[in-house]
Amino acid sequence: MPYFTTFSVLFFTRKLNSNKKELSIYARITVNGKIAEMSLKRKTSVNEWDNSKGRLRGNTQRIKLLNSYLDQVYSKLLDTQKKILDKDNLITADKVKASYQGLDQEHKTLTDIIEYHNETMKSVLKWGTLKNYHTTAKYLKEFLKEKKKTSDIYLKQINYKFITEFEMFVRSYNAKKERKTCANNGTMKHLERLKKMINLAIKLEWLEKNPFQNYKMRFEKNERQFLSERELKLLEETYFKSESLERVKDMFLFACYTGLSYGDLKELTTDHIVKGMDGKNWISTKRAKTNESVKAPLLQKADNILKKYQEKRFDLENKRLFPVISNQKINKYVKEIMKGSNIRKHITFHSARHTFATTVTLSNGVPIETVSKLLGHSKLSTTQIYARVMENKISSDMTNLEDIMNKKEREELSKKETKRNI
């Protein structure tokens, strides 16, 4: 039995807020009582419009052209409805409107590429990275809902204006949960993830033109915080009565002397500790982020911490060497141990890795190529960031030295001047 549909097209007008005598022309498509409306981007005056006929009154050339255009729209909408019925029994007003505008089901949406990306990348990206894409998707969903008053958008509708508006939205968005708005680099990360998904859509031939072509990412260079030799010693000499804080302090120090990230440290098991040809304990693991192999002898200070926790292993089943707590919680504890050690810097757990790269290795003359291997970097250029940090420190130290020398010189001149006056 064929599926019966009622279909009609009506042209109507709405008053413009700026000019009450001028009207904007719309088309209303009705299928089985359900309506979809669209602006035809044409205007007329109140005196010219005939509501009963849905056309303009008069015989001027302009009116004849406008009425002819409305006839063409009507004819095209009828043809569109017929084509959809020929292909599919299911027809809706929205489907007719979308097909007329060239945005039918053959065109993919933003939601389509987000879902495709997140599904296909499950086995490629680490959960932490994939979680960030889900966060970006939430921002996009909220942006569409609040600013575009829709739940989805066709990929071909995404343009430079959409990108810049999304950027402004992320910068100013306050979630219901109490948290800070996105800073510049956090905002750029969301744009970077959107750009990667758009590039995937282009590769899949879902999109022809790249809306990011004229858009430039603007990342700000942040100073990488790390502990100096004095601060590292200060932390080592501070004892915490709280077992949790003392444990986090040891984990942080272990990362300072191995260069392991929190993600790599929490996955560390007894299987990752092997005996090297020199008889010392070595770490043999792979970086979770880059999958690069890391094999290095343990420094004595790291080995001492390891021995301290060997007897009270926290996860006997999985042979884990350290307790597994959330990244958020461990950073809360790190904040407390820094305060307790009188270290007035904004230090996170990841700062331990920066401390290893700068204070522990590069400052002590370890070649940058070796440091790159120890950190498990896939590119030397990544490690060179730390070298630049050291250059900044050298520059600062040399400036301080120059100040001391200038001070001494002034003191000498002052003494000579005093002798002359006696």
Tokens encoding 411: 């003191």
Mean per-residue pLDDT, 298-316:
78
Secondary structure element (H or E) that encloses residue 192, with its range: helix 184-203
The DSSP bridge partners found for residue 9 are: 29
42 to 13, 66, 149, 251: CA distances (angstroms): 10, 8, 23, 68
**pLDDT value at position 400?**
81
Residues 233 and 382 in one domain: yes
- The answer to the question of residue 218 being in a domain is no
Residues 121 and 89 in one domain: no
Neighbour-count burial of 116, counting CB atoms closer than 10 A to its CB (0-12 exposed, 13-18 middle, 19+ buried)? middle
pLDDT higher for 417 or 52?
52
Q: Per-residue pLDDT for 378 more than 70?
A: yes
Tokens encoding 192: 């970077």
- The answer to the question of residue 143 being in a domain is yes
Q: Per-residue pLDDT for 156 more than 80?
A: yes
Residues 245 and 163 in one domain: no
Residues 69 and 141 in one domain: no
Tokens encoding 307: 């021995």
Nearest alpha carbon to residue 148 among 169, 134, 133 = 169
How would residue 2 be classed by pLDDT, with cut points 50, 70 and 90? very low
**pLDDT value at position 318?**
60
- The answer to the question of residue 219 being in a domain is no
Residues ≥6 apart with Cβ < 8 Å to 414: none
Q: Per-residue pLDDT for 176 more than 70?
A: no
- The answer to the question of residue 359 being in a domain is yes
Residues 74 and 161 in one domain: no
Separation of alpha carbons 72 and 406, rounded Å: 86
Q: Which of 88-102, 162-176, 191-205 has the highest mean pLDDT?
A: 191-205
How would residue 310 be classed by pLDDT, with cut points 50, 70 and 90? confident
Is the separation of the CB atoms in 324 and 232 below 8 Å? no
pLDDT higher for 11 or 384?
11
Tokens encoding 237: 């000499």
Taking residue 182's Cβ as centre, other Cβ atoms within 10 Å add up to 18
Residues 234 and 196 in one domain: no
- How many domains, in total, are found in the chain? 3
Mean per-residue pLDDT, 102-119:
82
Is the separation of the CB atoms in 239 and 246 below 8 Å? yes
Is the separation of the CB atoms in 236 and 304 below 8 Å? no
Residues 273 and 367 in one domain: yes
Residues 93 and 120 in one domain: no
Is the separation of the CB atoms in 326 and 203 below 8 Å? no
* CA 7 remoteness from chain centre: 45
pLDDT tens figures, 388-405: 677 666 777 788 888 899
Range of the domain at 244: 229-386
Tell me the CATH number at 299: 1.10.443.10
- The answer to the question of residue 186 being in a domain is yes
In the predicted model, what is the mean pLDDT of the chain?
86
In 7-143, DSSP assigns E strands to: 7-15, 22-31, 34-45, 49-50, 55-56
Neighbour-count burial of 258, counting CB atoms closer than 10 A to its CB (0-12 exposed, 13-18 middle, 19+ buried)? buried
pLDDT higher for 319 or 180?
319
Separation of alpha carbons 268 and 341, rounded Å: 27
User: Could you tell me what percent of the chain has a pLDDT over 70?
Assistant: 91
Which DSSP string do the residues of 267-284 spell out, in sequence order? T-BGGGEEE-TTSSEEEE
pLDDT tens figures, 223-243: 778 999 999 999 999 999 999
Separation of alpha carbons 333 and 348, rounded Å: 9
Which DSSP string do the residues of 299-354 spell out, in sequence order? PHHHHHHHHHHHTT-SBTTTTBSS----HHHHHHHHHHHHHHTT--S---TTHHHH
Residues 251 and 159 in one domain: no
Residues 173 and 72 in one domain: no
- The answer to the question of residue 402 being in a domain is no
- The answer to the question of residue 392 being in a domain is no
**pLDDT value at position 161?**
95
Domain termination site, one of 48, 76, 100: 100
Residues 38 and 175 in one domain: no
pLDDT tens figures, 266-285: 888 888 888 888 888 888 88
The DSSP bridge partners found for residue 296 are: 283
Neighbour-count burial of 42, counting CB atoms closer than 10 A to its CB (0-12 exposed, 13-18 middle, 19+ buried)? middle
**pLDDT value at position 126?**
77
* CA 356 remoteness from chain centre: 26
Query: How would you classify the pairing of strands 281-286 and 273-275?
Result: antiparallel
Residues 63 and 176 in one domain: no
Separation of alpha carbons 328 and 363, rounded Å: 30
pLDDT tens figures, 252-262: 999 999 999 88
- The answer to the question of residue 296 being in a domain is yes
